[in-house]
Structure 1
Amino acid sequence: LWGVVDLVRDALIAVGPRWFGPRWFLVDLIGVAGTIAILRFGASAAGRFPLRVLAAFALFYAFGWIWSDLLGQFGPREEMAFWPTLFLFGYALIGLAFGVAFSAIGLGLTALILAGYLWSGEAFILWQAFVTGFGFMLCGLWMRRA
């Protein structure tokens, strides 16, 4: 799900730069709603509304906004690198408790994002769409198999 969300969001930014900024958040809201729907579909009757997942998304987004908009005042390129790596940091941390695969995903995709940030030049938006979009899709398939 998040691979498709990232791919669509970054493709929209590449095609129409006006999608960068507040509009990209609308695309992410679709991803959050989809995640909650997927979790509700597989949950027992007692756990129909996953408040912890919603709280985790809210905390990550709040932390990101504080650092990227209030304190850091990042430009578009920096924000496009920051947001996926923030969530990939979460993957790496989860890997400490749930298995090395999560840490490998987090660190591997972060390395690819940083490489694109440093060396892709004007192609960075398309690099991001490819790396985060297809990277998260492959990770989802990998985790589903595990």
Structure 2
Amino acid sequence: MTIGSDEAARMLADVDSVVAKVKQSRIYRSAALIIMLWGAINLARDGLIALAPGWFGPRWFLVDAIGIAGTIVVLSRGATVGARPPMRTLAAFLLFYAFGWVWANLIGDFGPRQQTAFWPTLFLFGYAVAGLWFGWAFTAIGLGLTALIVAAYFWSGAAFSLSMAVITGGGFILCGLWMRRA
């Protein structure tokens, strides 16, 4: 049995399509675990800020450090045996934090309310941009949750910290569950 060049090209295109879908599925599954991890962290952090506003400040960074460590663990888990730790991911976190810190503390002099809105939207911007390479779900999550945060910033009043716990905590967890199915 011989295969013509047109049929061989179609078969190779089918293989390439399956490989691309598998790669996207692996990326979505890792990203889903990471966003659900950050949802739990944001829920705890913003819930603590809502209940005890003194939690805002240096302790916030310590809670985020747990999230960064968890993210590195999730990314390392999907790596091949003997692979180096995901240093680019750590570098990306550090760059985002440095950029955010300069704007939030040096240039903008943000107060607690502004910082509570700024930090998740900064990282959601990264999610939205990642969608240009990894699939529309990233962009939808980044833009959708940012819109909810902006709405909460302007219209939630005294319940802002609690609404942020719901949006960034519950929203991230729900989006992670959705990404697992995308």
TM-score (norm 2): 0.78
Equivalents in 1 of 2:42, 2:83: separation in Å?
Answer: 28
Give, as a single letter, the amino acid of the residue that structure 2 aligns with 1:4. A
Equivalents in 1 of 2:59, 2:122: separation in Å?
Answer: 19
Q: Secondary structure at the match of 2:165?
A: helix
Give, as a single letter, the amino acid of the residue that structure 2 aligns with 1:104. A
Match of 1:122 among 151, 158, 163: 158
Q: Give the drift of 1:45.
A: 2.0
Could you say which residue in structure 2 is the equivalent of 1:58?
94
Could you say which residue in structure 1 is the equivalent of 2:52?
16
Q: What is the alpha-carbon root mean square deviation over aligned residues?
A: 1.0
Q: Secondary structure at the match of 1:45?
A: coil
Give, as a single letter, the amino acid of the residue that structure 2 aligns with 1:91. Y
Equivalents in 1 of 2:51, 2:123: separation in Å?
Answer: 24
Identical positions, percent: 68
Is it true that 1:72 corresponds to 2:108 in the alignment? Answer: yes
Is it true that 1:82 corresponds to 2:123 in the alignment? Answer: no
TM-score (norm 1): 0.96
Q: Give the drift of 1:15.
A: 1.3
Could you say which residue in structure 2 is the equivalent of 1:134?
170
Q: Give the drift of 1:47.
A: 2.4
Give, as a single letter, the amino acid of the residue that structure 2 aligns with 1:17. P
| 1:9-45 residue CA offsets vs partner (Å, 9 max, x unmatched) | 0011111111101110100000011111111122112
Q: Secondary structure at the match of 2:50?
A: helix
User: Any stretches of 5+ residues in structure 2 without a counterpart?
Assistant: 1-36
Could you say which residue in structure 2 is the equivalent of 1:143?
179
Greater Cα radius of gyration, structure 1 or 2:
2
Equivalents in 1 of 2:169, 2:50: separation in Å?
Answer: 13
Is it true that 1:6 corresponds to 2:42 in the alignment? Answer: yes
Q: Secondary structure at the match of 1:64?
A: helix
Equivalents in 2 of 1:133, 1:123: separation in Å?
Answer: 15
Q: How many residues are aligned here?
A: 146
